[in-house]
Structure 1
Amino acid sequence: MKEKIKIGIACLARNTYDVKAAEQLYKKTQKEVLEKKDFEWIIEKNIVIEEKEAEISALEMKSENVEALILISGTFHLGTLALKYCQILSVPVLLWGYPELPYDGGKIRLNSLCGVNLDASNLYKAHKRSFHASISSTVNEEFLNAIKIQHTLNHAHVGIIGHHAQGFYNIDVDELSIYHKFGILLNHYELNDIFNVEEEQQEVDAYKLKIKQIFDLSDINKNQLFKTAILCAKLKKFYQEQGLDGIAIRCWPEFANNFGISPCAAMSILQEEGIALACEGDIDGLISMIVHQALGFATPFLADLSQINKEKNTMLLWHCGVAPISLWDGVSIRSLDTYFAQNRGVTTGFVLKQGDIQLLRFDSVQGEYRIFICEGKAVEMPKELRGTYANVRLNTSVEKVFDKVVENGIAHHFSMCYKHVNDSIRMYAKLNNIPLIEG
C-alpha cells in the first residue's frame, strides 16, 4: 500500500458506570491497534463523555482526513456522542462494544452492549447505514479489511489499453459510475502505446532467460520466444512509467496481428510480479483483482467458468494461459503454446495447484454494482488442456451456483485467489450498500 490508511478511534462512556475500568480497557486497546502497521491511528486518548468533547474530537479527526471511524462503547453513554461524530465525519463506522466485566456489588459495570445497541439504532433511523456493530475484546479484522478495499479502490490508478474484446458487450462499463462508486478515473491508452515503448535490452534478456528456465518451449519458435520477452519488458516499463495499479488489455483480435503474438504468456509472467493485468479489456474484472490484492493476494487472475460436473460437484475454471507461475501445481509440464490466433497465441499452459480458492466479481449493470462471491477447493487433475486451469469442488451446489451466475447476468470472468476471504468482502459490501450475490 502506497500510504497508510488513517482511522480515527474514540471511546465513549458515562459517569454512572465504571469509567475507570473502561479507561483501562481502552488503554489496552490503544496499544493493540498501534501494532497494526497498515494503518495510521488518529486516537482520542481520553474517554469521551460530553457532547462538546465529541465535537472537538471529531473535528480533529476530520482535519486529519480519517477514512474510517471506530467508536468504542466503553460503557453505556449518551446517544448524542456517536451522532455528533457521524454528523462531522461521513465515513464508515465500527461500533465496538467490550464484553461485560464480572459484576461488582450487583451492578452492571459497563453495559457496553446496550450502548452499541443505542448507537446502531440512532444511526440506522437517521439514515446513516454505513456502520457495523461488533462485541469483542479485539478490533474487528473484517472491518479493517473492508477499509483496505475502500482505500485501495479510492486511490487506484487504472488503465485500459484499447477497448473490451470484440463482442464482449457484457464487460463494458459506465466510467462515471465507476468514479461515483469507487473514485476511480480510467486512463485510456491505445495498443500502439504499448507497441511503441522502447524496451530495455537488459530486461528483455532477463525475461528471455527466465522463460527458458521455466517453460517447455517445444511448441513455439525463437521469434515467438523473443517477442514474449520483449512484450514483458514493454508492458512492465509502461506500467511503471504511467504509475498504474492495474491494466485491462484488449488482447484480441488485433494484438497478435499487429505485434506478432498475443499477450497471454507475458501477462502470466508479469502477474507473478504482482502486476494486475486483466484479459479482454475487462475493467470490472480488473477492479475485482485489485480488491483481491488489497486483501494481501499478490497473484489473482481472471478465469472463465468453463465446465460443470453435477455428479462430482466440480467446475472447471480455465483461461487461455494468464495465471501467475506460482500457482502451478508442481507436477504438470509448464509450457508455452500457440494453439490459437493462427498459431500466434503464445499462452502459458499448466494445471493450477490444489487448495482453497475464492471467486470474486465486482459486476455492473447499467452503472449499478453488485458483488458475486463463491468459494471452493481446487483439487488434483491431470494436464489435459492448453491454457491454465483448475478443477474446483464447491462448498455449495455447482448447479445452483451456475444458475445464480446466469440468472443474474454475471459476466463470465472471475478474479480467482487462493484463500477464503468472504467475510471481508461481505463487510465491504455492507458498508458500501452494494448487493451481494453468494454462490
Structure 2
Amino acid sequence: MRGLSPKVLFVPAFRTLFRGSRLGLEEGMAKTLECLEPRLGFQLVRAPVVSSYEEASRVAYRAVAEGIELVVVGLVTFVTGEVLEPLLRLPIPKVLWAVPEVKQEGPLSQNALCGLNLALSLPYLKPPAKWLYGPAEERFLEQALRTTFKALGGLRVLRGARLLWLGGPPPGFAAFAEEPSTGASVERIELETLFEAWHEVPKDELEEECSYWRAFSCMADEALEATARLVVALRHLAQGYDGVALRDWPEIPERLGVVPSAALARLADEGFTFAPEGDLMGLLSQLVLEAVGGGKAILLDIVVAEGRALQLWHGGEAPASWAKRGFRLVPHFNRGLPAVRDMTLKRGPVSGLRLFRGKAVLVEGELTGQGGYTGSAGWVTRVRWNGEPLDPQVFLQRWLGARVPHHIALGQGRLGQPLREALAWAGVDLAEPEGEVWGASWQ
C-alpha cells in the first residue's frame, strides 16, 4: 500500500488572450517540479496545457484512469471557471499553483492571482484544495509541497490500510469496537487462531527467539518460552497487514501466564505496528502518524493532568526508539506476570492523533524526559489541542467533553501540519466538545 511513489499530474492552464501565455512560464513550473521529483519521492506526469473545457475533461479522465494521487494545476494566467471545472470536480487531492506577474506595470500580462481567487470560489470545486502563490523556485516550492507529500502518506493509510483485528476489544471497552469509515479494510480473526499458532511455532524459530529473551535474567524459563512463542506466533499472523489490533487481555495472561506487552514492544522494534486492547481506530491513528513521519507510534492513556503538564502512560509496549536511557523488563503492575517494558519516554517534540466516529483530535506538545509510572510513561508540556495552546486543565475539559476514546496515538516530531492536511484530504473534521458531557477539575 505504501511502497510506491505517489503519481502527481501537473496540468498547466492559461488563456491565450493573455500575453503571459506566450512567455513559457509553464515550462519553468514543470522543470521545477521535475527537480523536486527525487527529493520529495514522487512520480511526475505532465499533461498538455489546457485552455478549454474539452481539453480539461480529457486530462481529468486521464487522472482517474492512471491512478493519479495529486493534481497540480498550474495557473499561468487568469483562466475562467468553465475551463477548470473538470479538474476542480475531481475527487483527488488538488493543489492550485499560481505564478506572480513577470512585471508590475504596463499591460497586465497574466492576472494569475485573480484566476486563483476565482477558482477557489467556484461552487463546483470539490474540496479540500491547497493553494500556492509564488514563482517557480525550487527551495520555496519544496518547502510548500513537503508537507503535502507527508500528508499523502497519511491519506494512503486512511484510505487503503489493511488491518488485522485479532480478537476484538476486551470486555467493557465498547468504544474500541469502532471500525474505520475512510476506506481502510479490516480482517477479523478469533483469538483462538493465535493460541493455535502459539502451539505450532517451529522449533528453530522458537530457539532463535528464546536467545533474545535469555538476555533478561528476570524471566523464568517457562515465562521466557511462552513470551518467545507469542512473539513468533504474532510475527507470522501479522504478515501481509499494515498493523494488528490485539485483544491482549484477559485470555492471553490467563491461558499463557504472561502479558504480551514486552512481546509487542519487541515486534515494534522490528517494524511491526500493534495496538493493544483491540483498539482498531487507535491502530489506524498510529499508522497515520507513522506515514507522515512520526517514527514508530505508540498508544498511551492520559493518566495525570496537573500543573502545566500531562502524564501519558501505558503498560509497556513501546519500542526502544522511545526510551530515554534504555529499558528494563518488569512484571505487570496489576497482574504481577512477566513482562512489560519499563522506560521513560525520551525528551522531544511529539504529536498525538486520535481518530474516532468520523472525527479526529490532534495533540501537540513536548515530552520533558521526566519519568512516571511503571511502564511506558512521560510528561508532556506545551500542550496544543487542534493547534490551540491549552493549560492541561482546559485540555482535559476539551478531551473529556469531546468523548474521545481513552487511547491517544503518539508519534515523534512536530507533525501538526501534515496531519491536518491528511485529515482534510480524507474529509475528517477536527473534533470539539459536543456539549453532552461536562464537568470540572481542581488541584
Fold shared per TM-score above 0.5: yes
1:75 to 74, 77, 84: 77
Q: Distance in 2 between matches of 1:90 and 1:228?
A: 47
- Whether the aligned pair in 1 keeps the contact of 2:165 and 2:186 (CA below 8 Å) is yes
- Whether the aligned pair in 2 keeps the contact of 1:22 and 1:75 (CA below 8 Å) is no
Closer, same or farther: CA 136–389 of 1 in aligned 2, 3 Å = farther
Q: Which shifted more, 351-360 or 389-398?
A: 389-398
Report the counterpart of residue 43 of structure 1 in structure 2. Answer: 46
- Whether the aligned pair in 2 keeps the contact of 1:132 and 1:431 (CA below 8 Å) is no
Closer, same or farther: CA 253–81 of 1 in aligned 2, 3 Å = same
- Whether the aligned pair in 1 keeps the contact of 2:157 and 2:284 (CA below 8 Å) is no
Q: In structure 2, the residue corresponding to 1:393 is in which secondary structure?
A: strand
Report the counterpart of residue 362 of structure 1 in structure 2. Answer: 355
- Whether the aligned pair in 1 keeps the contact of 2:259 and 2:332 (CA below 8 Å) is no
User: Are residues 1:386 and 2:383 paired?
Assistant: no
User: Are residues 1:267 and 2:268 paired?
Assistant: no
Code of the residue aligned with 2:380 in structure 1: it is V
Q: What displacement does 1:21 show?
A: 4.1
Q: What displacement does 1:194 show?
A: 1.4
User: Are residues 1:402 and 2:421 paired?
Assistant: no
Code of the residue aligned with 1:362 in structure 2: it is L
Report the counterpart of residue 128 of structure 1 in structure 2. Answer: 126
Q: Distance in 2 between matches of 1:100 and 1:398?
A: 48
- Whether the aligned pair in 1 keeps the contact of 2:289 and 2:419 (CA below 8 Å) is no
Q: Distance in 1 between matches of 2:213 and 2:77?
A: 61
Code of the residue aligned with 1:385 in structure 2: it is Y
Q: 1:304-319 maps to which residues of 2 (within 5 A)? A: 304-310=301-307, 313-319=308-314
Closer, same or farther: CA 10–38 of 1 in aligned 2, 3 Å = same
Report the counterpart of residue 95 of structure 1 in structure 2. Answer: 96
List per-residue Cα deviations over 1:42-84 (Å, max 9, x = no partner).
221x332233222222222222122332212122122222212
Code of the residue aligned with 1:403 in structure 2: it is Q
Code of the residue aligned with 2:30 in structure 1: it is K
User: Are residues 1:291 and 2:288 paired?
Assistant: yes
Closer, same or farther: CA 283–75 of 1 in aligned 2, 3 Å = same
Closer, same or farther: CA 259–144 of 1 in aligned 2, 3 Å = same
Report the counterpart of residue 413 of structure 2 in structure 1. Answer: 419
Q: Distance in 2 between matches of 1:246 and 1:291?
A: 11
Report the counterpart of residue 234 of structure 1 in structure 2. Answer: 233
Report the counterpart of residue 3 of structure 2 in structure 1. Answer: 2
Q: Distance in 2 between matches of 1:278 and 1:262?
A: 14
Q: Which shifted more, 224-233 or 353-362?
A: 224-233
Moved over 6 A (4+): none
Q: Distance in 1 between matches of 2:43 and 2:92?
A: 16
Closer, same or farther: CA 31–339 of 1 in aligned 2, 3 Å = closer
User: Are residues 1:29 and 2:28 paired?
Assistant: no
> How many residue pairs end up in the alignment?
415
Q: Distance in 1 between matches of 2:113 and 2:5?
A: 31
- Whether the aligned pair in 2 keeps the contact of 1:274 and 1:298 (CA below 8 Å) is no
2:277 to 262, 276, 280: 280
Code of the residue aligned with 2:309 in structure 1: it is T
Report the counterpart of residue 109 of structure 2 in structure 1. Answer: 109
Q: In structure 1, the residue corresponding to 2:238 is in which secondary structure?
A: helix
Q: What displacement does 1:27 show?
A: 3.1
Q: What displacement does 1:391 show?
A: 1.2
Q: In structure 2, the residue corresponding to 1:196 is in which secondary structure?
A: helix
Report the counterpart of residue 352 of structure 1 in structure 2. Answer: 345
The percent identity for this pair of structures is: 24
Report the counterpart of residue 338 of structure 1 in structure 2. Answer: 331
Q: What displacement does 1:152 show?
A: 2.3
Q: Distance in 2 between matches of 1:54 and 1:36?
A: 29
List per-residue Cα deviations over 1:284-332 (Å, max 9, x = no partner).
100101101211334101011111122xx111110000111121102x6
Q: Cα RMSD (Å) of the superposition?
A: 2.2
1:146 to 143, 148, 151: 151
Report the counterpart of residue 440 of structure 2 in structure 1. Answer: none
- Whether the aligned pair in 2 keeps the contact of 1:204 and 1:232 (CA below 8 Å) is no
1:172 to 172, 177, 199: 177
Q: Distance in 2 between matches of 1:50 and 1:65?
A: 23
Code of the residue aligned with 2:97 in structure 1: it is W
Q: Distance in 1 between matches of 2:76 and 2:412?
A: 38
Code of the residue aligned with 1:131 in structure 2: it is A
Q: Distance in 1 between matches of 2:121 and 2:184?
A: 33
Q: Which shifted more, 161-170 or 19-28?
A: 19-28
What stretches of structure 1 of length at least 5 have no aligned partner?
none
Q: Distance in 2 between matches of 1:341 and 1:171?
A: 22
Closer, same or farther: CA 140–108 of 1 in aligned 2, 3 Å = farther
Closer, same or farther: CA 107–283 of 1 in aligned 2, 3 Å = same
User: Are residues 1:320 and 2:315 paired?
Assistant: yes
Closer, same or farther: CA 252–160 of 1 in aligned 2, 3 Å = same
TM-score, normalised to structure 1, is 0.88
